[in-house]
Amino acid sequence: MAHSLVLVATRGARSMYLLRHLRLLCETLGLILFELRGVDFCPGARCVLFFMLIALNKPYGLLSQFTHETGSAWGTLAELRMPKGVYALGRLDADSEGLLLLSDEAGLNSRLLNPDHGHRREYWVMVERVPTDEALIQLAAGVKIGDHATLPCVVQRLEPAPTLPPRDPPVRFRKTVPDSWLSLELTEGKNRQVRRMTAAIGHPTLRLMRVRIGELTLESLALKPGKWRELTAEERKMVFV
């Protein structure tokens, strides 16, 4: 659904009464109310703009953008026929899967991705071999990836391994090399950070899926890979918890 544009006349006590109630409605629904003064739509009018917030279960093989990169074999979000004007809030690499948010509202990137805000994101990671407890303590405390020292994060083993839809193409399998699953909860998002973190403790990532943003989980959305929908008011609130 495209965002709605509502013009509210502001002349007279009756109009101001309606505008106050519209503000309360926006707060209840978790929507953003913009009052643009001096816009020449019609005399004494204000503009109320409702922004979209969309959840996508991004499949493997798609870049988190709508434009194709020259020479790249990866697809783009343009293949999913999403509404015009939306952009990805953060990114998932083409070889990563899971929960990706998109919006047509400017400024949400900073609100969600600035480490100073401590906004939580959870990833499920399939790694080569089984890390020791000492390796996981090191991972949780922070590791060096290039010139950056990662912030402390929450690390847990996923036992038993999660039941997920098969990936296309399948994950590389080797009979002589076991694998295991971890959960990482981060509050920052450097380029290919999760992969670089697990590599830093000697356990390359085989499969990576983002399963939660704030308190909004991929499981609760029940979206199949490649499917998307606009969030409800309650789901919007869960994103920013």
Range of the domain at 43: 5-49
**Are 124 and 161 in the same domain?**
yes
93, 95, 133, 168: which is the annotated catalytic residue? Answer: 93
Q: Pull the structure tokens for residue 32.
A: 């953003």
77 and 184: one domain? yes
Residue 136 belongs to a domain: yes
Known active-site residue 93: yes
Give the residues of the chain that fall short of pLDDT 50: 1-14, 35-48
The verdict on 22 and 106 lying in the same domain is: no
pLDDT at site 1: 43
pLDDT at 38: 41
Note whether 224 and 153 are same-domain residues: yes
**pLDDT for position 90:** 87
| 212-237 tens-digit pLDDT | 999 999 999 999 999 999 999 899 99
112 in the same domain as 13: no
Strands (E), the chain: 5-9, 45-49, 53-58, 87-88, 97-103, 121-128, 144-145, 148-149, 154-157, 179-186, 205-213, 216-217, 228-230
Please give the model's pTM, rounded to 2 decimal places: 0.80
What pLDDT is attached to residue 12?
47
